[in-house]
Amino acid sequence: MLSRRRFFSLSAGALLSVPSFARAADLSGGRSPALLARARAALDRHGSLVQNRETIGIVDFGVASRLPRFHIVNMSSGRVETLLVAHGRGSDPDHSGWLERFSNEPGSAASSAGAYLTGATYEGKHGLSRRLIGLDPQNSNAESRAIVIHSAWYVNNDIVRQTGKLGRSEGCLAVAGSDLPQVLERLGPGSLIYAGKAS
């Protein structure tokens, strides 16, 4: 088991020696360690707002939607759970399965990059969902745009097998219904989620 201090001191190269994260990094083309460094910087920058520093979420939108790219990282143990997550249709207008652009604009239906703080859960049109608060200029409209975590029928391995990609959200972090309980549990209120592309 890694101590929290030890985990934070790991470089991107050294991080690949952690078996669970190495597997996740392999799935996402080796980009996620760079995003971990950005997430760690965001955790330091927004630390006074983050109540749960034990577990963070990292979404690697540099990876195709057909691959697991939502990493839930335990910062003490180094354990990582990696799940499917959709991006916004405004970020992928041709529905190629790849995120092409980010946007913070209302009505864009696009995903936004940056650090998010998780808020309360609520029952909405997608069922149980968790609110997200944008902490950076590039995602500052997350609340007014109703960018949240929710489950969606178009996020699952069957859809990937049938179409080679996931469906698209309106900019929300949409996950599989079977994964939603663990996402909501691991990333409770006051947790940090960092979304971006490594390159």
CA dihedral 158, 162, 165, 166 (to 10 degrees): -50
Give CA–CA dist 130/111, Å, rounded. 16
- 4-196 fold: L,D-transpeptidase catalytic domain-like (2.40.440)
Q: Which helix (H) or strand (E) holds 52?
A: strand 52-60
Instruction: State the pLDDT confidence band at 129, using cuts at 50, 70 and 90.
Output: very high
- Nearest CA to 186 out of 80, 35, 84 is that of 80
pLDDT at res. 3: 37
What pLDDT does residue 21 have? Answer: 36
Mean pLDDT score, 157-184: 98
Does residue 56 contact residue 75 with C-beta atoms inside 8 Å?
Answer: yes
Q: pLDDT tens digit string along 44-80?
A: 999 899 999 999 999 999 999 999 999 999 999 989 9
For the chain, the domains span 4-196
Helix (H, G, I), strand (E, B) or coil at 147: coil
pLDDT over 70 for what percent of the chain?
A: 83
Q: How far apart are the first and last CA of the chain?
A: 30
pLDDT of residue 40: 92
Q: Which two tokens stand for residue 63?
A: 């990876």
pTM greater than the 0.95 cutoff: no
For every residue of 126-145, DSSP letters joined together read TEEEEEEEE-SGGGTTTTTT
CB-based contacts of 115, cutoff 8 Å, min separation 6: 39, 42, 45, 46, 134, 135, 136, 139, 192, 193, 194
